[in-house]
Chain A
Amino acid sequence: MATTAINLTPRDFKGKSDPDWCPGCGDFGVLNAIQRAVAELGFRPHEIMTVSGIGCSSNLPGYINTNGMHTLHGRSLAMATGVKMANHEMNVIVTGGDGDGYGIGGNHFTHTARRNTDLTYIVMNNQIYGLTTGQVSPTSSLGMTTKSTPFGNVEQPVNPLTSAIMNGATYVARAFSGDVRHLSSLIQGGINHKGFSIIDVFSPCVTFNLTNTHDFFKERIKKLEDEEHDVTDWKAACEKAMEFGDTIYSGLFYVSDRPALEDVEPVLKEGGPLATRKLGLGKEEAQKIIDRMM
């Protein structure tokens, strides 16, 4: 949590560069929502690290005024886990796209959920590979024609929410980038949650995905908050997450109070972040190691 009560505005979290996204890109809404969330939570830029992979949406750390790592394609969660292990007092937000997170980074997605590392993972899911100019993605719908599936996609899309729930994520949400206020509140919830939070955000690609458009989602999105939904019921959460027809739910699907990795790792119990601890061995410990070799 924030340490100093200085009221910053979302504008204070504006990065050095302006986004190079296409006009109308859903990612603008996500960037705004993150800036709004961290400002409203009272953070200051040096208290946050934003980590991304590679892709259109992964350029985000350059557009936000926090510490950042713009890493390798698919590796944001692994890098972010390293950051969090080394400095568990840092608030680590991970951003990226569906190809980055659910395709090339799928293994890390599975295991980060299982580990329940205290990260807030925001996926800008546009169901297409944008930066590489329009190929099928792991979340592309069946039948979708793209440059790499000119006769239609025949592979079943992944469901990031049910995957996350099954694998042990403890805060699982979905949002639409067109509703910044709602998205921002889900991000705040994710940051406040201790454990692995995933917020899958429909963030339409206006250039390469002409199926899953802003209008497509506006017509279908229904908020879970408006229904009777028990966020501790994983079965109900999965059922709601599987619906992808005339109704597509957004909101908080699932929450669990399973302890985060940082809370079950004895090495982190005392002494502050590993990154700032004194280096080198104590005389006694060193001698014990040598004695065991004799």
Chain B
Amino acid sequence: MGLGTYDFALAIGGEAGQGIATPGDILARIIVRRGLHLCTYNAYQSIVRGGHIFLTMRISDADIQNHGDKLDLLLCLNQDTMDRHQRLMGPGSRIIYNSDTINPGTEDNGAELCGLPVGELTEGSRNRLVQNTVGMGAIAFLMGIDFAVLEESLTLRFQRRGQEMVDENVKVARAGYEYSKEHYKAFDQPPPEGGKPLAVWSGNDALAMGGAAAGVKFYAAYPMSPASGVLHWMAANARNLGIMVRQVEDEIGVANMVVGAGQAGTRSLCATSGGGFALMTEAIGAASMMEIPVVFINVMRAGPSTGVPTKTEQGDLWQALGASQGDFERIIVTPTDSLDAFNIMPEIFNLTDKYQCPAIVVSDLYISEGRFSVDPDLINMHPNIDRGALITEPSDTDGYLRYKNTESGISPRALPGLEGYVHLAATDEHDEDSTLLSDEFTNPHKRRLMVEKRARKFDHILDDIAPPVLEGPADADVTLIGWGSTQGMISEAAGVLNAAGVSTNRLQIKWMVPFHGEEVMAILSKAKRTIIVENNYSGQFARYLRSETGFAASGHIRKYDGEPFMPHHIVDGVNAQIAGETDKYIPYQEITV
């Protein structure tokens, strides 16, 4: 991943309720309309008012999928932000703050302090959010964004609330802009004009949109961070798109409702996080036993138990692998970025329809709540929809076998309501005609037949999905192995390492079940130093890789402090391992929020 000619990161810090989201959103839209890429990571706490929120937005003319290593510009909305983050700013950086209420520390680390007398600039406005808008004006000047661009964005943002609101915001933003122009020096390099305008979305938006594009007609959820964004998107779009959205009493109800809706014939989806997913698991096994296509999303957060509800982790891999009792067929996939999260949805629905089984999409807070630029032309809102072996014409003969023992193991499926295809779906083991085996003295031959019928469905499923690909020089000295959301950091770290003379390639795993064991081994058996990068303590993927292939990596880079990797964490980890300092590197998280 090339970093382009422009790489700039700004942060806004304050407490919950101080209105960080609005300037973040306005700036994001200015950036993507200019055709620039962005990646936004919001570090926050499980609190509605107070606490500390720290929004990092990285901007580049290159496609970036992580929030980077450094900050150029910091907007402090309270003293706490100044106290926590001033020390992290380096020479040439700028710190914007309300000089009426916030005092910078005495430490001189080369950052230019850009105080704004907000009271004077706003003629004593008592609107507590006004400092954000003044700050936005200052940001625009310092970054080198024309005031007209900010004015247009503020107008778009506030016009629904009346011209007075627009005028007020433009006025104070202009005051911040002009004051900064008189007193402070702008960054040398303004953001370039990129190509065509881009769009901005979160990973949760992408998952929900992917579901809608795939034809989801039933969505159920119980609110849980960091998965609620999927519910919010679905609820907001439900009426326009003809999607039934239900907020249900608990995740057990959610999971069973989507399975019921799946049996009745809709493409059905739900999303939750680990704790809610734990409650859903019995229904996942039920969907497998009844051979009902349905998709479950688990957006991982730091666990166990309530854990750290607003922090990220890759700690639920084995939960997904072990979700529900018994030995059964299901698909598990871990999206690698927001566009992948979108694209996975139609693909996984086609697979679950073809193989009549449940699927689990394992996302995490970093992808799901992060906001990313995306090229709108890459969002295929009209993907191929293939419902598999579906019987749609009524019949006047009896004798339909819902679980017919076919060569492929796939039994053509009729939706309930179709004349001539009356059938029972049972969670008890059952015969081809749905008769419960327990009604036949648990016939062991029939049990074996049905286990094998279901298992046979997966014999050739690997043919339907793309194997992982080694990126970078084939004979590299270092092979970085990651899964899911770490792709953005790992690929950038590999670029940095290669530029520094450490020949590095990388392998990102997306499909967990089924797993491309042979293809992965063909790559890894030729690799020199293999390092697995993952966001958990115990090395969940390292264990899974070993269980599937027998392959044990040379080293590991792990992080389990709740915060995502930054590229330099991985670079440092590789260098430490090359230097022989350790074979398990745990980076130090510099930013405490």
Interface residues of A (CB under 8 A from B): 16-17, 20, 44-47, 49, 51, 54, 59, 61-62, 65-72, 74-75, 78-87, 89-90, 107-108, 110-111, 265-268, 271, 273-277, 279-281, 283, 285-290, 293-294
Chain A residues lying within 8 Å of B433, measured Cβ to Cβ, are: 16
Which A residue's beta carbon lies closest to that of B258? A82
CA distance A75 to B426 in the complex (A): 13
The winner among A17, A82, A286 for most chain B CB atoms within 10 A is: A82
Q: Please, could you name 19 A-B residue pairs with CB atoms under 8 Å apart, sorted by A?
A: A17-B435, A17-B439, A49-B417, A54-B427, A67-B422, A67-B424, A69-B424, A78-B248, A78-B260, A80-B260, A82-B262, A83-B416, A85-B246, A85-B261, A87-B264, A108-B252, A268-B244, A275-B264, A293-B201
Report whether B250 and A82 are in contact in the complex, using a CB–CB cutoff of 8 Å: no
Q: Which residues of A contact B256 (CB under 8 A)?
A: 71-72, 75, 78-79, 82, 108
* B547 touches A (CB below 8 Å): no
Chain B residues with CB under 8 Å of A62's CB are 424, 426, 434-436, 439
Q: Check B218 against A294 for contact (C-beta < 8 Å).
A: no
Name the A residues within 8 Å of B121 (CB-CB).
none
Flag if B427 contacts A274 (CB, 8 Å): no
Chain B residues with Cβ below 8 Å from A70 are: 424-428, 436
Q: Flag if A72 contacts B282 (CB, 8 Å).
A: yes
CB atoms of B416 and A87 under 8 A apart: yes
Contact of A72 among B29, B218, B427, B434 (CB under 8 A): B427
- Give residues in B with beta carbon < 8 Å to A: 29, 32-33, 197-201, 205, 209, 212-215, 217-218, 220, 237-244, 246, 248-250, 252-268, 282-283, 286, 290, 374, 376, 379, 381-383, 385, 387, 415-428, 433-436, 438-439
Q: How far is the CA of A291 from the CA of B262 in the complex (A)?
A: 31
CB-CB under 8 A from A276, the residues of chain B are: 265, 415
B379 proximity list for chain A (CB < 8 A): 290
In the assembled complex, which residues on chain B have CB atoms less than 8 Å from the CB atom of A266? 239
Cross-chain contact A89 with B417 (CB below 8 angstroms): yes
Q: Which 5 A/B pairs are nearest by Cβ-Cβ distance?
A: A82-B260, A279-B215, A275-B265, A86-B264, A78-B256
Q: A17-B436, A45-B422, A46-B419 are in contact. Are A69 and B290 (CB under 8 A)?
A: yes
* Interface pair B422/A90, CB less than 8 Å apart: no
Q: Which of A16, A46, A110, A280 contacts B418 (CB 8 A)?
A: A46
Measured CB to CB, the closest approach of chain B to A193, in angstroms, equals 21
Residues of chain B contacted by A277 (CB below 8 angstroms): 217, 242
> How distant is B393 from chain A, measured CB to nearest CB, in Å?
13
Q: Which of B197, B249, B385, B418 contacts A279 (CB 8 A)?
A: B385
Whether A71 and B252, one on each chain, are in contact in the complex, defined by CB atoms closer than 8 angstroms, is no
Which B residues lie within 8 Å of A81 (CB)? Answer: 246, 253, 257, 260
B435: chain A residues at CB < 8 Å are: 16-17, 62
User: A248 CB to closest chain B CB, in angstroms?
Assistant: 30
**Shortest distance in angstroms between A231's beta carbon and chain B's nearest beta carbon?**
28
State how many angstroms separate the Cβ of B39 from the closest Cβ of chain A: 15
- Residue of B201, B209, B217 near A275 (CB, 8 A) is B217
Interchain CB contact under 8 A, B286 and A90 = no
How many angstroms between the C-alpha atoms of A101 and B339 in the bound complex? 43
For B253, the chain A residues whose CB sits under 8 A away are 75, 78, 81, 107-108, 111
Q: Which residue of chain B has its CB nearest to the CB of A75?
A: B256
Q: Check B217 against A20 for contact (C-beta < 8 Å).
A: no
- CB-based contact B416/A85 at 8 Å: no
Chain A residues with CB under 8 Å of B243's CB are: 267
Inter-chain CA distance A257–B60, complex, in Å, is 60
Q: Provide the residues of chain B in CB contact with A84, threshold 8 Å.
A: 264
Complex alpha-carbon distance, A65 and B435, angstroms? 12
Cα distance A283–B62 in the bound complex, in angstroms: 30
- B379: nearest chain-A partner, CB-CB: A290
Tell whether, in the assembled complex, residue A72 and residue B283 are in contact, meaning their CB atoms are under 8 Å apart.
yes
User: A58–B231 Cα gap in the complex (Å)?
Assistant: 33
Query: Of A65, A281, A290, which contacts B212 at CB under 8 A?
Result: A281
A4 to chain B, nearest CB (A): 9
The CA of A80 and the CA of B257, in the complex, are separated in Å by: 7
